[in-house]
Structures are given as C-alpha cells and as structure tokens.
Amino acid sequence: MTDSVRPDVLIAFVAMMAVTVAARVGGFWVMRYIPITPRVRRMLDALPGSIIVAASLPMVVSGGVVVIIAIVAAMTVTIIRRNDFVAVIVGMAVAALARALGFSG
C-alpha cells in the first residue's frame, strides 16, 4: 500500500480550496460597501442556521433512523446550549452510539 496522493484528487482539492477562499474574500470585499442595518444584521445572523439546514436536509431525507435521531439530538442541544460546536459533537456521538447499538439506516 502506498501513501502517495493521486494527482486528480490533489487538483480537485486545490480547486475547491481556491473557490472557497475566493468566495470568502469576495464576500468580505463586497460587505465593505454594504451598510449594516438591523435588517442586514438579522440576515447575517440567520445564515449559519440556514447553511446547516441546507447541508443536512438531504442526509435526513435519505439517511434513515440513525440520521434522524442524531439530527434531533443536535437540534435539542442547539436549542438548550446555543452552541453549534457542542451540538455537532453530540449529534456525531448519538449517531455513533445508535450504530454501535445496532440501529441501521
């Protein structure tokens, strides 16, 4: 077994990293010219939650019982603790525990 990196994977990784950096830098550059009104502030505050929902919804739809249990646990922790990092850790732990106990899907 070799530990070499495939060139196509490396190119894909570098391309995705470049697009991510360009999007972030571009966002910061554009936001320099936008006044932060209460309405804009509410929109910016809502973005992290909407991104998490957009990323996790396809998994919930096709993931089965384990994913639903993990997402519900993470949502509960988010509501109680107001800490996304802790919620992600709890969600992963619940999914791992559910799989260890034999739940499938």
Per the CB < 8 A criterion, the answer to whether 60 and 105 are in contact is no
Residue 51 CA, chain-centre distance (Å), reads 7
Distance of alpha carbon 70 from alpha carbon 98, whole angstroms: 8
For 70-105, the pLDDT digits (tens) are: 888 988 998 898 888 899 899 899 988 988 888 765
pLDDT of res. 19: 92
Give residue limits of the domains in the chain.
Answer: 1-34, 48-105
Digit-coded pLDDT (tens) for 25-77 = 998 898 889 898 999 888 888 777 777 777 777 877 787 888 888 888 988 99
